[in-house]
Amino acid sequence: MAALTPVNPAWVRNTGGAFLERKTHLVDGEAVWYAGAFLKQKIADGLLYEASTSAASGVAADAITHIALSDLTAQTVDTTLVEVGVVTAEDIFEINSKSAAVTRASNGASYGLDVTSHLHTIDTTNATHRVLRVVQPTWAERDFQDNSADTLARVMVRVLAAAIDAQAA
């Protein structure tokens, strides 16, 4: 058993065989994120923002539409263009668990996203505000690298269509 060092999500593959689609978008002038962070595009201004911890604020606040391909430091204007990946329901991402080991019993279960200090993890204690569905723990594919007893375990997930289709206000 190891306590893994969590990192932001990474795109692994698309089940349909497609590559990660890349687009250029304007970002909020105060936005800050690290590569791999999930992002949301707000309908009010069309700008990209870092996704937030899944919360009672509703599906719109829990939107996930893109993934950051590089770090972004605070700009002062809303005219900065960044290249980001477009998230689809067929994409599979590797993400760390917020605080626990993950078993095969979690396969197919849906959980919330936790965002703390720009670090994105799956919160397996939050089954109320679901945005991510577990495909399988990574130790099931890579037992030479990961262990079923790892804390902050790595997990393969998909973003739920409801989160992708959500309209962030």
Is residue 1 in some structural domain?
no
Is residue 3 in some structural domain?
no
CA 93/CA 132 separation, integer angstroms = 10
Count of the separate structural domains present in the chain: 1
The CB density around residue 60, as the number of other CB atoms within 10 Å, is: 13
* CATH number of the domain residue 96 falls in: 2.40.300
Q: Which residue in this structure is represented by tokens 């997990």?
A: 155
* DSSP states along 25-94: EEB-TT--B-TT-EEEEBTTT--EEE-----TT-TTTT---EEESS-B---SSTT-EEEEEEP-TTEEEE
Question: pTM to 2 decimals?
Answer: 0.89
- Give the pLDDT mean for 42-48: 85
User: Is the predicted pLDDT of residue 140 greater than 80, yes or no?
Assistant: no
User: Which two three-digit tokens encode residue 60?
Assistant: 């719109």
Which structural domain, as residue segments, surrounds residue 19? Answer: 10-165
Mean pLDDT of the chain: 85
Encode pLDDT of 19-34 as tens digits: 999 999 998 888 889 9
Q: Which residues pair with 113 in a beta bridge?
A: 122
- Give the pLDDT mean for 126-144: 83
Is residue 52 in some structural domain?
yes
Is residue 2 in some structural domain?
no
Is residue 86 in some structural domain?
yes
Question: What is the separation of C-alpha 145 from the centre of its chain, rounded to a whole number of angstroms?
Answer: 22
Is residue 5 in some structural domain?
no
Strands ordered across the beta sheet of 132-137: 10-14, 91-96, 154-159, 132-137, 110-116, 119-123
Q: Which residue in this structure is represented by tokens 């078993």?
A: 103
- Residues for the chain: how many in total? 169
Q: Which residue, among 103, 156, 147, 96, has the nearest Cα to 121 in the 3D structure?
A: 96
Encode pLDDT of 73-124 as tens digits: 877 677 788 999 999 999 999 999 887 778 878 889 999 999 998 999 998 8
Is residue 144 in some structural domain?
yes
Is residue 120 in some structural domain?
yes
